Structure 1
Amino acid sequence: MTSSSRDFPALELVVTLEWRGKAAVLRVAGEIDLLSAPEFEEAVDTVLAEGPEVVVVDLRAVTFFCSAGLQVLASAQRGLAERALRVVSDSAVTTGPLKTTGLDTWIGIHATVDEALRP
């Protein structure tokens, strides 16, 4: 019997930051899993250290979202004023876990970034 190995391309997490006045908009693409959650958490923590009034996390390009990602959002929510963390989601991949865990009662879910930025 012979064995062979094969390299599979790693799916990367891409996080970009855009400031709109005193609001930080984080656009996230890729998978948020146990391996990438620390990178996601670091990006969120870096933004929180800047002291934004509102943080919008755009998850529309996220293809996998596990409990580690939920924990990052829950932790961020605790560091902000009520309803200052807003999520943009248009798929069951990200909206489902937020609703199943009840985080959607603390974190507003919006269809677009512009909608999330409205007072």
Structure 2
Amino acid sequence: MHGNALRLIVSGEIDLASAAEFHSALSNASSRTLGALVIDLRGVTFFGVAGLSCLVELVRSNTLITVAIVANTHAARRPIELIGTDPDLAVFGRVDDALRFVGAHG
């Protein structure tokens, strides 16, 4: 926890085989906070379409909390960039920036 924000740290590969586990972790984390959720993808080594779908679904379906994504590696950030600058995804390169964002919007 960072103030009213819960930080979920994700590592490894997020692909079709691990998407259900990623989805479950996102759902669990979002249900445990009343303020904001920071999803830290800095430890992700592969981020596939299944992972992107989980993120977009979480952000679009959960209007009660503010969500920020930290993605500063090519493996995590590039797939997000490829889907276009989705206005629903608040993506940052640093945890501090994401925490400031959720603090201001949460």
Query: TM-score, normalising length from structure 2?
Result: 0.84
The reply to whether residue 74 of structure 1 matches residue 56 of structure 2 is yes
Residue 77 of structure 2 corresponds to: 95
Q: How do 1:12-91 residues align onto structure 2 when only pairs under 5 Å count?
A: 19-81=1-63, 84-91=66-73
Question: How many residues are matched?
Answer: 101
Higher helix share: 2
Higher relative contact order (CA 8 A, sep 6+): 2
TM-score computed with the length of structure 1 as normaliser: 0.76
Q: CA RMSD in A?
A: 1.9
Does the aligned pair in 2 maintain the 1:83–1:107 contact within 8 Å?
A: no
Unaligned residue ranges in structure 1 (runs of 5+): 1-18
Percent identity between the aligned chains? 36
What is the match of residue 115 of structure 1? 97
Could you tell me how far apart the structure 2 residues matched to 1:113 and 1:83 are? 17
Give the aligned partner of residue 105 of structure 1: 87
Q: Which runs of 5+ in 2 are unaligned?
A: none
* The structure with more radius of gyration: 1
